[in-house]
Amino acid sequence: MRVAVVGATGLVGQMMLKVLGERDFPISELLLVASERSVGKQIQYQDKNYAVIGMKEAIAAKPDIALFSAGGDTSKEWAPHFASAGTTVIDNSSAWRMDPTKKLVVPEINAHALTPNDKIIANPNCSTIQLVMVLSPLHLKYQLKRIVISTYQSVSGTGSKAVQQLENELAGIDGEMAYPHPIHKNALPHCDVFMDNGYTKEEMKLAREPQKILDDRTFSVSATAVRIPTAGGHSEAVNIEFYKDFDLKEVRHILEQTAGVTVVDDPKNNRYPMPIDAHEKDDVFVGRIRRDETQRNTLNLWIVADNLRKGAATNAIQIAEYLLAKNLA
């Protein structure tokens, strides 16, 4: 397939290239696309150097698939042009996620809804993806009622500028700030911008996206998103109220049988999911599985995933693999 990676110089764009190579995605022609200031820059893929090109040149090449990770404004402007040229766009920004005319896809859950007419497909928020990977099989069995989630999110979720801020602070270097406060030895209850209702945009993504992915508006999600000084990997403390009661052994069995989910739940031996163990892995890890003793039909658990992989690049490429397998692009 002719594949364009739009935003190829960014953290997620670079991870997309890495995952494409690891998964041996069949590429007949690779187009690396970025802003005008990066045009001509050389990027290596599979021991070959590629020159970065601009948007117009990429559109004229009519790739089969364009993997977008260039920000919402860029996607809003350019994704429709790719789509009009016949390209299927898989977009990692928030630009199209809540658009009722666009599918919001986690392949293990709802890729079956895709059709050849879906020329712009939205990749969910990184924190949403790892959450719904665990919620989906439990929802089928016990029916979700309400979820309360607190996230502990890596600086890599903000981008290379935030990673550099943490590295500068660790080294005692004054540099450009991605956040309004230091992140080293700190925790910021501030992911994305604040909205009129007092929640951040990230928190509202967590509230709305799971309902769309699971195609069910009967449950609710309340979120608090926190940025912490980890270099990679997002963690989530999740409290889930169901309409139906559950058995903990059955819950563990359901999750153990879920593709893409790994259960790490042996607290007696200090085994539970941690970002350091999820690094460079595509599975979603879940542990600390226990009943909430203060409320009926309610479960507590802890979810961790590599936000640049399953939370972004890998999920997008899994969508592309599905499109290829089903001849949808």
Catalytic residue set: 126, 234
Q: Judge whether 136 and 214 are in contact, CB under 8 Å.
A: yes
> Which two tokens mark 74?
């860029």
| Residue reference for tokens 């690779």 | 30
* Start-end of H helices in the chain: 11-22, 55-60, 72-84, 107-110, 126-142, 160-171, 201-213, 248-256, 275-278, 314-325
Q: Dihedral (C-alpha) 56, 59, 63, 66: value to the nearest 10 degrees?
A: 80
Burial class, 329, CB count within 10 angstroms (exposed 0-12 / middle 13-18 / buried 19+) = buried
Q: How far apart are CA 154 and CA 223, in angstroms?
A: 16
The three-class DSSP label of residue 31 is: strand
Q: How far apart are the first and last CA of the chain?
A: 9
Q: How many helices (H) and strands (E) does the chain have?
A: 10, 13
